[in-house]
A and B are shown apart, each in its own frame.
Chain A
């Protein structure tokens, strides 16, 4: 049950777009369309931002989008805003019928 691989940090200026990658294997990200993304502000509870690779729950801004290619998934945030600064985690279902998270990415809005 190895964690998915995410960059430790990314940054961008307000109004720009950024992409956070999430790399797994054919046993998790590449094998299922059950990739999800979470936003967590310091001291707060994680919030679901994307599920099933590219679907947004009701209430989540359309500035957030998800995609997948092979064993890697991506979260793109367009039109960066100050409040987007947070930790982001990806998650995937696996062939072992377990779930696994990425190590998390800290997004800094400059």
Chain B
């Protein structure tokens, strides 16, 4: 079945780096744009990044621009998010999401990132 599985979350100290991964299965990964979306505890959804199917274009929310890099490996059906200079306000569940017609149609279960000293 169509599935996205995130990994790499955990407890990180402020200022530290983190790399999230997402393994896709059940669909032709290379056909789709992919995105990262996060949700802070008790808060709403926040789009943070997307990457086109061939990696030719990426874009980021202002809140993470300059500190984050999204990438993908179509041969491995995998999506990545490298985040640097993490802040307490980056604490959230991070979702790997498939993009279709600029809608988010398939979501992973999410991975929790906690930034705390």
Q: Which residues of A contact B (CB under 8 A)?
A: 1, 3, 32, 34, 36, 38, 40, 45-48, 51-52, 57, 87, 89, 91, 93, 96-104
Contact = CB atoms under 8 A, between A and B. Distances in A.
Interface of B: 35, 44-47, 50, 57, 59-62, 95, 100-105, 107-110
Contacts of A103: 44
A45 B103 contact: no
Contacts of B101: 34, 51-52
Contacts of A32: 102
A51 B102 CA distance: 8
B61 A1 contact: yes
Contacts of A38: 45, 104
Nearest to A92: B102
Contact of B107 (A1, A36, A45): A45
Contact of B59 (A87, A98, A101): A98
Contacts, number: 62
A104 to B, nearest CB: 4
Contacts of A91: 45, 47, 103-104
Contacts of B35: 99
B47 A97 contact: no
Contacts of B47: 91, 98-101
Given A48-B105, A57-B105, A101 B45 contact: yes
A48 B61 contact: no
Q: For B44, B103, B105, B110, which residue has the most chain A Cβ atoms within 10 angstroms? A: B103
